[in-house]
């Protein structure tokens, strides 16, 4: 139901093609309370969401949920624009790096009254932590993801090898599975700096602490980067040709055809992998933790949170919907249909999820996952990281020089 807007808000709505319809206490003609909800799901995921929301409306006949699908690439800036005008939707599906930023700008409702200690225990610790900033909870983890070691079980079985559990074992196993003359390699990893994080953390390095201390150029961080470089240049368990622009597709193609025995990727890739000749039998796809460095296993956590607008007029009704959306039976629908990893622990105990190894195997990985820094600038850190990091991988800069450059750029970003 449309409401009156000021000329300024009309201009904003026209410019962005969206209206959160949240400035007033909205009711339908039959007296239902309207909850506005922006989400960034793709079309297939949106079908699942619509079904869950329809179920909620049936069980709560006095509530009408207005869903609006927003392209992910536009969502962050569009939300900031309407939130600044106090016209944000009641619920927004925010990427994890956006939550602290939006909270720091005053756009979100603090949810401490709902996020009790008992309620927090329902969720994995790592995705939950992305909702905690400046001593308050600002959201609820909806879905999560992480990087895992994916491997071809048949290749390992034929070679009589076990999956590597340590960084040393990765080298030794990778060598046994590499035959450069046949263009087959034990391992492949991408040049995207996000793919550096599991090794960075497992060697004891880091990015930025939540007190904004920069540790990307610590001795442990340098050691981690040296290790990755050596995998190609010294140990030669990776292809020698580097093509950063196409390395994701090259990784996928090589893995699906049996060219690479092991890769690092996340749950978003499983549907594509199962389309490959090597994985017509889904059980041939192994998923486990990335081999541990001297400080143990680690992997970055991604995902999305449900956040509630500071300007909501229906806090309790909105919270009730958020809670419903994250119930195990509803997270299971996203998991089974869309390969989205649940954040709620009990979801992994449901029979359909437990029996789907493409989902359940990630639970083991998530239990050792690590958060990126929960600071407003978190999403911008990778911008300054890419060029120096890739230059080091190519041998154009030493790891120390590259990581020092990143640290210097981050000092400016963080006003250090």
Encode the chain (416 residues) as per-residue pLDDT tens digits: 333 333 333 334 433 444 444 444 666 668 899 999 999 999 999 999 999 999 999 999 999 999 999 999 999 999 999 999 999 999 999 999 999 999 999 999 999 999 999 999 999 999 999 999 999 999 999 999 999 999 999 999 999 999 999 999 999 999 999 999 999 999 999 999 999 999 999 999 999 998 899 999 999 999 999 999 999 999 999 999 999 999 999 999 999 999 999 999 999 999 999 999 999 999 999 999 999 999 999 999 999 999 999 999 999 999 999 999 999 999 999 999 999 999 999 999 999 999 999 999 999 999 999 999 999 999 899 999 999 999 999 999 999 999 999 999 999 999 97
Let me know: does 77 contact 16? Beta carbons within 8 Å: no
Q: What is the 3-state secondary structure (H, E, C) of 275-304?
A: CCHHHCCHHHEEEECCCEECCECCCEEEEE
CA dihedral 263, 265, 269, 272 (to 10 degrees): -10
CA–CA dist 328, 324 (Å, integer): 9
- What CATH number does domain 148-299+377-413 carry, 3.40.50.720, 3.40.1010.20, 3.40.190.10, 3.30.420.10? 3.40.190.10
Residue written as token pair 């486990």: 288
pTM confidence score: 0.89
Residue 270, Cβ density class (10 Å: 0-12 exposed, 13-18 middle, ≥19 buried): buried
> What is the model's pLDDT at position 9?
38
Q: What is the pLDDT of residue 29?
A: 61
Residue 44: burial class (beta carbons within 10 Å; 0-12, 13-18, 19+): exposed
Q: Please give the Cα distance from 214 to 207 (Å, whole number).
A: 6
CATH level 2 (architecture), domain 7-144+302-366: 3-Layer(aba) Sandwich (3.40)
Residue 204 and residue 295 in contact, taking contact as beta carbons nearer than 8 Å: yes
Q: Are 255 and 263 in contact (CB under 8 A)?
A: yes
All CATH 3.40.190.10 domain ranges of the chain, comma separated, are 7-144+302-366, 148-299+377-413
Nearest Cα neighbor of 142 from 335, 304, 322 is 304
Q: What share of the chain is helix, strand, coil (3-state, %, to 5)?
A: 50, 20, 35
Q: In what order do the strands lie in the sheet with 341-342?
A: 63-69, 33-39, 91-95, 301-308, 139-146, 341-342
């Amino acid at each position: 139901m449309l409401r009156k807007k000021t000329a300024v808000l009309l201009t904003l709505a026209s410019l962005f093609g969206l209206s959160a319809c949240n400035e007033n206490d909205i009711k339908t003609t039959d007296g239902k309370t309207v909850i506005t909800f922006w989400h960034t799901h793709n079309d297939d995921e949106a079908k699942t969401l619509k079904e869950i929301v329809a179920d909620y409306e049936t069980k709560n006949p006095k509530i009408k949920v207005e869903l609006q699908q927003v392209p992910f690439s536009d969502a962050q800036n569009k939300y900031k624009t309407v939130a600044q005008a106090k016209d944000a939707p009641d619920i927004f599906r925010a990427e994890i790096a956006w939550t602290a930023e939006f909270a720091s700008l005053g756009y979100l409702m603090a949810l401490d009254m709902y996020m009790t200690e008992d309620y927090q225990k329902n969720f994995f610790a790592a995705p939950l932590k992305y909702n905690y900033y400046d001593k308050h909870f600002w959201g609820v983890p909806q879905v999560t993801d992480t990087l895992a070691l994916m491997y071809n079980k048949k290749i390992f079985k034929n070679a009589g090898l076990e999956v590597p559990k340590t960084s040393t074992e990765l080298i030794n196993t990778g060598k046994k599975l590499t035959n450069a003359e046949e263009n087959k390699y034990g391992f492949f990893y991408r040049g995207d700096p996000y793919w550096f994080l599991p090794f960075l953390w497992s060697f004891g390095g880091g990015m930025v602490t939540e007190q904004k201390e920069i540790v990307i150029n610590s001795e442990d961080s340098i050691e981690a980067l040296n290790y990755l470089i050596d995998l190609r240049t010294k140990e030669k368990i990776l292809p020698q040709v580097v093509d950063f622009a196409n390395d994701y597709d090259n990784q996928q193609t090589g893995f699906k055809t049996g060219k690479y025995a092991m890769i690092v990727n996340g749950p978003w890739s499983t549907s594509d992998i199962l389309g490959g000749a090597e994985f017509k039998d889904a059980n041939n796809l192994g998923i486990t933790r990335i081999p541990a460095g001297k400080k143990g296993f680690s992997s970055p956590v991604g995902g999305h949170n449900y956040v509630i607008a500071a300007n909501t007029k229906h806090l309790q009704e909105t919270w009730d919907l958020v809670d419903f959306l994250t119930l195990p039976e509803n997270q299971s629908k996203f998991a089974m249909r869309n390969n989205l990893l649940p954040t709620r622990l009990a979801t992994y105990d449901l029979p359909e999820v437990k029996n789907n190894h493409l989902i359940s195997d990630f639970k083991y990985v998530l239990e050792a996952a690590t958060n990126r820094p929960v600071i407003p600038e978190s999403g911008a850190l990778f911008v300054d990281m890419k060029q120096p990091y890739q230059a080091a991988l190519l041998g154009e800069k030493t790891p120390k020089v590259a990581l020092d450059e990143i640290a210097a750029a981050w000092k400016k970003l963080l006003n250090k």
